[in-house]
Every structure is written in C-alpha cells, then in structure tokens.
Chains A and B, each alone.
Chain A
C-alpha cells in the first residue's frame, strides 16, 4: 500500500528564516501532490497543488517542489512568521481528470516559528 512520510517531530524555526518541510512517499507517483495547512480545532486549508510534470510552484512566500525520481516533495516557507505556526499536511492526489478522487494524506508536520 502507498505510504507517505512527513517529519513526525515538531519543526522549530526562528522567525525570518526559511522553513523546509519534507514529504516522502513509496510506490507509485501521483498525478498531483497537494499541501494543506491545519490549525488546532479547524479543518485543513488548501495551500498549493503541483503536477507531476512540474518541478516547482510558488505562491507568495510559499514554494513547493516535486521530484518523482526521489519520490519527494519539499515545502518551503520563506521569511517565516509566528503566524505560520501550524500543522502542514502533504496529500497524494491520483485524480485523472474525471470524477472525484479522495486524497491520501500524510500525518503532518507541526511547524513552530519562534519570535
């Protein structure tokens, strides 16, 4: 079965530095890979989606890379702020363009940005 690994321990980063989170997976590469943010007591919020034929995608201070050879995605937050503190979820997406497909989520990495 497909496995997704994210850093299980909390990641502590000093404010202003770049935070880098890792998502590794086994077996088949998905068509897409997505990243979500989840705050305590709330539902996940979509951040970025990257396709298998894209190496990098950016949105404001966020950057995602997707390496299907390494079976890895990296999620970067530049100029990190305490408000970026949250749990970040990686999700594999095999959607083929037709009807619904659920996502396969990693367990998430808890990011703490210290002032």
Chain B
C-alpha cells in the first residue's frame, strides 16, 4: 500500500496563477483533509471531507477550493495564487466515519509551494 500520495512534490507559481494539488489514498478511508504548515504556525486545517461528495471549511479556507472526486481522491485548488499561500501543504486521511474507527490521521509527504 502506498498510503497517502501527493503530487507535485514542489511547485513555484507566480502571483495570480492557478494550480491544483492532487491527493490520493489507498486505505479505503472515508475522511480526507488538507492542512498547511507554516514556520511558527503549526499545521492548520484548510478543508476536509467526511465522505465522497461532501466538503467542509476548516480554519483557513480563504483562497482555496476543494473537490472530493471519489473516495480515493481529494484535490485542493488555488484559483489565483498569492505570496501568502507560500507554504507546505499536507493531505491526510482517516477512518473517521467507519463504525468502530478512531480519528488517527495518515499524512502524505507534502507539497512545497512557493508563490513569487
């Protein structure tokens, strides 16, 4: 099992450009998440999805959109990138929503995004 995979690993954008970060998990998890990690700020939740077809805002959703394409895939889109969106982005998944499960989360390797 690959676990949680993310593409790309690195990306440099100019202000105003758009891009989509891809995430996939092969653990048959119901729930998926997008976090960003900035120096001195810790991990902050951007959006999450409890199941296919549902998405909800987290702590810092402004400037982002998400799509839960199917049970495996959860993408994060930046429509018009800004320097403040320079960060490391992590996707995660968990069994939350499955009977008897707990909410421990499995993270991908991250995407390092720089917006100039």
The interface stretch among A66-74, A75-83, A93-101 is: A93-101
How far is it, in angstroms, between the C-alpha of A43 and the C-alpha of B107 when the chains are bound? 6
Central interface residue in A32, A43, A44, A99, by most chain B CB within 10 Å: A43
Residues of A within 8 Å of B44, CB to CB, are 105
Contact B106 A46 (CB under 8 A): yes
Q: How many residues of B contact A (CB 8 A)?
A: 34
Q: Contact check, B42 vs A108: say whether CB atoms are below 8 A apart.
A: yes
Across the interface, name the chain A residue whose C-beta is closest to B34.
Answer: A102
Q: Which residues in B have their C-beta under 8 angstroms from that of A98?
A: 50, 96-97
B69 sits at the interface (CB 8 A): no
In the complex formed, the residue of B with least CB distance to A47 is B104
Query: What number of A residues sit within 8 Å (CB to CB) of B?
Result: 25
Binary contact readout B40-58 vs A (1 if CB under 8 angstroms, 0 otherwise): 1111110011110010101
**Contact string against A for B residues 83-100, beta-carbon threshold 8 Å, 1 for contact and 0 otherwise:** 000000010101011000
Residues of B within 8 A of A44 (CB): 43, 90, 105, 107
With beta carbons under 8 angstroms apart, the residue of B31, B107, B110 that contacts A100 is B31
- In the complex, the answer to whether B94 meets A100 with C-beta atoms within 8 Å is yes
Question: Residue-by-residue, is B15-49 near A (CB-CB < 8 Å gives 1, otherwise 0)?
Answer: 00000000000000011110100001111110011
B105 x A106 contact (CB < 8 A): no
**Is A21 interfacial (CB 8 A cutoff)?**
no
Q: Which residues of A contact B (CB under 8 A)?
A: 4, 32, 34, 41-46, 49, 89, 91, 93, 95, 98-108
Q: A4-B42, A46-B105 given; name 14 further pairs at CB < 8 Å.
A: A32-B102, A42-B109, A43-B90, A43-B107, A99-B30, A99-B54, A99-B97, A100-B30, A100-B50, A102-B48, A102-B58, A103-B103, A106-B42, A107-B41
